[in-house]
């Protein structure tokens, strides 16, 4: 495969890594969980201001010089893919704000061990890029769509680009990205009266909807438990309209519990707040500036940027990654669920003093 954006002479044939490409057994952590997935935040910037993620007026941004280049991200992916990571998700911030994202996709596609490359996006810029992304090797896309009402999105996420999001979803399908999924964060008093409408919209678009419980992640400074609509309540409300809802078996390491309506159409619920899936979590995360995190709630990570820029070899970096993963015990969402007086995870000042705690920095 050759991709024009890869630069002179570069093709998958010319990609080499110091490590032997193979399908190795992924390293296991102390709870027996394999390292299989890497979610990469390609930018901490976003063009929406969703109240559950970026509610503030201003933010502390990562210094530009600290943001990993495509070559650095590619090198990290090359290393982890030789360790057993076979799923990559590009996220952010809003990943489509990163200039020339298809070039990164094309680079990552070259790693033999990477079987799946996905993108999570708010969809605003998707119509413009869907075809190029697909041509570069992106497999699938998840679009965040919390409401079908443009005026709600304007009030809640400070964006008037609702029509662009809908166009983006259609463009992703036309471009052949498959499957297209729709992420819906459900908030009481905001969009909990749209569950059926959103599910119907997903059915029309042949896009599986995944309802997400509102999480107390960094950035959700206004989080309170009374705004969370639990998986149980979501199912109750949907069954009032659709009747019997069957759970589908075997979700593996995927975050969503999947369900089928009697006509066979399916949807998912990600119950990270009331029924966390830490026990099967095989994900790690790379912040836009190269901190490798073992948990969405992790306090700190391994500084891969420092290692990359200090000229460490692939073997040394791989060794550090395996060592960190092999002592991993994180189960952040479960620990939060056990906490009796649960409120927002961080206060504003602690987010300002370390923006790595923000959801938009570590990638959703």
Residues that bind ligand SAM (CB under 6 A): 46, 52-53, 91-92, 94, 120-122, 144, 183, 185, 212, 214-215, 217, 220, 359-360, 364
The single residue listed with the structure tokens 């709870």 is 31
> DSSP states of 256-311 as a string?
-EEEEETTS-EEEEE-TTTS--GGG--EEEE-TTSEEESSTT-S--EEHHHHHHTT
The answer to whether the Cα torsion of 61, 64, 67, 70 is positive or negative is: positive
Least separation in angstroms between residue 272's CB and ligand SAM is: 7
Would you say 27 or 93 has its CB closer to ligand SAM? 93
- Which residue, 80 or 212, has its beta carbon nearer to ligand SAM? 212
CB of 307 to ligand SAM, least distance (A): 26
CB nearer to ligand SAM: pick between 215 and 288:
215
Query: In the complex, what is the shortest distance from the CB of residue 215 to ligand SAM, in angstroms, rounded to a whole number?
Result: 4
- How far apart CA 235 and CA 282 sit, in angstroms, is 26
What's the distance, CA 278 to chain centroid?
A: 16
Helices (H), the chain: 70-83, 101-109, 126-136, 150-157, 162-174, 195-204, 231-242, 304-309, 314-326, 332-338, 348-353, 359-362
* Shortest-Cβ-distance residue relative to ligand SAM: 364
Q: CA gyration radius for the chain?
A: 20
Q: Shortest approach of ligand SAM to residue 41 CB, angstroms? A: 8
Q: How far is the CB of 218 from ligand SAM (least distance, A)?
A: 9
Identify whether 287 is preceded by a cis peptide bond (ω within 30 of 0): no
* Distance of closest approach, residue 213 Cβ to ligand SAM, in angstroms: 7
- Closer to ligand SAM by CB, 304 or 359: give it: 359
What b/e string do you get for 8-45 counting C-beta neighbours within 10 Å, with b at 16 or more?
eeeebeebebebeeeeeebbebeeebbbbbbbbbbbbb
Residue 306 CB, nearest distance to ligand SAM (Å)?
Answer: 25
Cβ proximity to ligand SAM: between 181 and 328 the closer is 181
The residue (of 214 and 325) whose beta carbon lies closer to ligand SAM is: 214
Residues 6+ apart with CB under 8 A from 327: 29, 30
Signed CA dihedral, 125, 62, 73, 103: sign only: positive
Nearer to ligand SAM, 217 or 229 (CB): 217
């Amino acid at each position: 495969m050759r991709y024009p954006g890869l630069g002179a002479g570069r093709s998958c044939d010319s990609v080499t890594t110091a490590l032997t490409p193979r399908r190795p057994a992924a390293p296991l952590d102390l709870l027996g969980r394999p390292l299989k997935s890497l979610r990469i935040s390609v930018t901490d910037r976003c063009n929406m201001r969703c109240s559950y993620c970026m509610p503030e007026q201003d933010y502390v941004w990562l210094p530009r010089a600290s943001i990993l280049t495509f070559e650095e991200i590619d090198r990290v992916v090359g290393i982890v893919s030789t360790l057993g990571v076979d799923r990559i998700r590009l996220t952010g911030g809003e990943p489509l704000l990163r200039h020339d994202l298809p070039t990164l996709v094309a680079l990552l596609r070259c790693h033999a061990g990477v079987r799946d490359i996905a993108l999570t996006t708010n969809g605003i810029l998707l119509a413009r890029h869907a075809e190029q992304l697909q041509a570069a090797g992106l497999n699938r896309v998840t679009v965040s769509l919390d409401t079908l009402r443009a005026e709600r999105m304007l009030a809640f996420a400070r964006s008037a680009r609702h029509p662009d999001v809908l166009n983006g979803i259609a463009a992703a399908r036309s471009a052949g990205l498959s499957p297209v999924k729709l992420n819906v964060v459900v908030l009481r008093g905001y969009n909990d009266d749209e569950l059926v409408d959103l599910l119907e919209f997903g059915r029309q678009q042949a896009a599986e909807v995944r309802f997400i419980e509102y999480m107390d992640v960094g950035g959700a400074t206004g989080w309170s438990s009374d705004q969370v609509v639990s998986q149980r309540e979501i199912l109750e409300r949907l069954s009032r309209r659709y009747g019997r809802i069957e759970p589908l078996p075997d979700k593996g390491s995927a975050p969503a519990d999947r369900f089928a309506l009697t006509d066979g159409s399916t949807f998912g619920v990600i119950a990270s707040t009331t029924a966390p899936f830490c026990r099967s979590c095989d994900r790690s995360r790379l912040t836009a500036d190269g901190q490798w995190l073992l948990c969405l709630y992790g306090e700190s990570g391994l500084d891969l940027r420092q290692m990359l820029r200090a000229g460490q070899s692939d073997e040394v970096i791989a060794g550090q990654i395996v060592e960190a993963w092999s002592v991993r015990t994180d189960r952040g969402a479960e620990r939060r669920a056990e906490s009796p007086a649960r409120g927002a995870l961080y206060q504003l000042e602690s987010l300002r003093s370390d923006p790595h705690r923000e959801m938009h920095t570590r990638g959703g």
